[in-house]
Structure 1
């Protein structure tokens, strides 16, 4: 089937390449001419495992190409996926839908009668209905469906090719048939396919993100209680995770969530609920957001205490800039928020990250950056582990101890082997864990 993908950012470029890889003919559209030129040369605009090879393969096959020409895109196909951003508004918590509206307004008058617009952007409930009313004045023969994405950065290609579920919100059997044809390989492979109304489809995405964000903030709230009580949040998380009703996923205590989805999505969801007159039903999301933000402040406060009460004149090394590993995305990165806060209090801060330094440097030019871990930690009075890249677990703490001023580590992701670091002479601290650690282990009991 022929289709266009409008917007070649994180969601759009992955969707376009994956749809081409399963056999569709895809035309990607973006207003950024430089990005389109790079994509046409099979150079992705983001770091995402597996994407570069996938892009090279599908561009070379001829099934995937790119353009900046809206007229060409409108004429190319009858199915158009909208993958543009929906950032938070500058003056409120609500989602900014100007880019979605611009696509519909620009595309609709140029489309063939009977065309289908399929939204993948994360939008407030009621957006499809509003766009349908908007379309009636421009292109009454055009239909809109909503098909939210559920991509995890670092696993986006996998999540598109082998999704846990497909959700489509449609208003006609024809739209359902089109989407079933597009996703036929996934459906035949047994992927659950939920066909519902557009409002429910819109809500599925924000409800899922809100629930996951709540789990993260819950365990981080427990970490704060554990700090006060002298308890161990990691053992607590392991124990409650054994309950099949709770599960282990998203119960990893640490610095909290960031990125382009969870923070803005829970805020936009709460704002939309207020507009619908049911704000009290999701009022807890404000606390979820506050707990997440407080984790950053708690990390800065603990680092300040560990370094002696003041950052002024001290060297601080930060391991990690991306908001999560296997990504170069620094949008609302907890790691960079902490690094910037420490720098603002007078420290000299050097940041390392395997993939995100260009984006981090553009967002925080006042910080220092390096691709060399040893260089980042040179003469450091404190090292902060803020993004859980696997390679940080491979660092030899004995070797790193030779370049720092003081062997002090704050593991705000709690993924380093504390025993190994401490045996190498490091003082290692983590949120919600006793210091020094005397922790219980599954199937064992320690008594004094």
Structure 2
């Protein structure tokens, strides 16, 4: 099928490449000429494992191309995905949908005949209905444009896998439409995927919009719940990791996303739960999502807790102390530093007078642009040179794997703070290091115990089993 993907950022570029991988003829569209030029030669402007190979393979096969031209998109085909960003408003908690509106308005102005627009962006409930009204007001009598909403559920670091092997597909259409071709068209687009047994959920616009925001709100709540419990564990000397293991064996709860530490960040969870709260307020449901305010507050508190822990264990005054920060991305397998807990911690330590040196395997350039006042190293070894405290803030594999003997000759003080509870404390303690973990006592990696899986990242899970 001939498809276009409007918006070639993280979501759009991944979706375009994956649709081409399914055999479709895909044209990606973006207003950023530099981004389009890079994508056109197979260069991904961000880090996402596996995407560059997918991109180049389908460009070479002639199934994937990129342009800045909306007229070209209108001529290319009759099915158009919308994958532009919906950032948090500059002055408010709500989602800024102006990019979605602009993309739809511009595209519709060039459409003739019958077309289907499929929204992928995360939007507040009610957006699709408002967009269909805008579309209807801008189309000629000889043109029909139907709107469907099919939210994305991508995890950074696993976006290709999540697109080609999703755990479900959700499609919402106009509940008042007497005849809709959208479901049949989308069924054909994803036929190869659906034949593997992936659940295909068809519903109305509002439900589809709420599915995505509700999923993110639930995950955020689960993470903040275990971090709230970790605050109690710190007070009483309990082990929050063992606690999480124990309650995670309950099938009603599950172990995933119960990893205590510095909390969540990135371009989705923080802004999506805030937009969800803001939309509920607009709809008059002021109390319905009030608990998300505390979810957000708990999450932000963990960053301050990490800063205070580093300051507390540092053997000299924080002013002038050398602090090594290992990790800048909000999660491993990503170069995304939006709302990164790691960089928030690094910035706060610098403001308190510490000399902060940051290393991240993939996110250093993005971090440097956002926090130019920090020092950045080109390796972990360089970052920890003469460090008074080494703080692990992103659970990259190389940090999980690093041994005390690698750092011993480099640091000034053998003090390590595990902000992600991803290290084996008994190994560091046995090597003479002072080990501290955000969340209190960490007994889970005792040699006499079964190794605990501590990460939601499958690659990290496999690596942790070797420790």
TM-score (norm 2): 0.93
Instruction: Find the counterpart in structure 2 of residue 311 from structure 1.
Output: 318
Cα distance between partner residues in 2 of 1:310 and 1:209: 40
Structure 1 residue runs of 4 or more that deviate by more than 4 Å after TM superposition:
435-443
Instruction: Find the counterpart in structure 2 of residue 150 from structure 1.
Output: 153
Write the deviation string for residues 319-354 of structure 1: whole angstroms up to 9, x where unpaired.
000000000000000000000000111111110111
Cα distance between partner residues in 1 of 2:368 and 2:238: 38
Structure 2 unaligned regions, length at least 5: 451-467
Structure 1 unaligned regions, length at least 5: 444-448
Instruction: Find the counterpart in structure 1 of residue 198 from structure 2.
Output: 191
CA apart distance, 1:433:
2.6
Structure 1's 210 and 235: CA in aligned 2 closer, same or farther, altered over 3 A?
A: same
CA apart distance, 1:308:
4.4
Alignment of 1:167 onto 2:174 = no
Cα distance between partner residues in 2 of 1:184 and 1:33: 33
Instruction: Find the counterpart in structure 1 of residue 248 from structure 2.
Output: 241
Cα distance between partner residues in 2 of 1:421 and 1:331: 31
CA apart distance, 1:394:
1.7
CA apart distance, 1:434:
2.2
Instruction: Find the counterpart in structure 1 of residue 110 from structure 2.
Output: 110
Alignment of 1:430 onto 2:419 = no
Alignment of 1:38 onto 2:38 = yes
Alignment of 1:291 onto 2:298 = yes
Write the deviation string for residues 293-342 of structure 1: whole angstroms up to 9, x where unpaired.
00001000111111147420110000000000000000000000000000
- Across the aligned residues of Structure 1 and Structure 2, the Cα RMSD in angstroms comes to 1.5
Cα distance between partner residues in 2 of 1:220 and 1:309: 28
Cα distance between partner residues in 1 of 2:341 and 2:314: 20
CA apart distance, 1:274:
0.5
Cα distance between partner residues in 1 of 2:443 and 2:56: 50
For 1:11-50, what aligned pairs fall within 5 Å after superposition?
11-50=11-50
Instruction: Find the counterpart in structure 1 of residue 86 from structure 2.
Output: 86
Cα distance between partner residues in 2 of 1:107 and 1:325: 36
Structure 1's 190 and 355: CA in aligned 2 closer, same or farther, altered over 3 A?
A: same
Cα distance between partner residues in 2 of 1:435 and 1:103: 49
TM-score (norm 1): 0.97
Choose the corresponding residue for 1:211, options 198, 207, 218.
Answer: 218
Contact residue 323 and residue 329 of structure 1 kept, 8 A: yes
Instruction: Find the counterpart in structure 1 of residue 374 from structure 2.
Output: 367
Instruction: Find the counterpart in structure 2 of residue 349 from structure 1.
Output: 356
Contact residue 234 and residue 433 of structure 1 kept, 8 A: no
Cα distance between partner residues in 1 of 2:440 and 2:128: 46
Write the deviation string for residues 126-153 of structure 1: whole angstroms up to 9, x where unpaired.
0000111111210162111101000000
Contact residue 235 and residue 440 of structure 1 kept, 8 A: no
Write the deviation string for residues 345-387 of structure 1: whole angstroms up to 9, x where unpaired.
1111110111011111111111111121111000000010000
Alignment of 1:419 onto 2:422 = no
Cα distance between partner residues in 2 of 1:362 and 1:422: 36
Write the deviation string for residues 404-428 of structure 1: whole angstroms up to 9, x where unpaired.
0001000000001111111111111
Instruction: Find the counterpart in structure 2 of residue 70 from structure 1.
Output: 70
Write the deviation string for residues 14-35 of structure 1: whole angstroms up to 9, x where unpaired.
0000000010000000111111
Cα distance between partner residues in 2 of 1:439 and 1:231: 15
SS of 1:278's partner is coil
Cα distance between partner residues in 2 of 1:338 and 1:23: 44
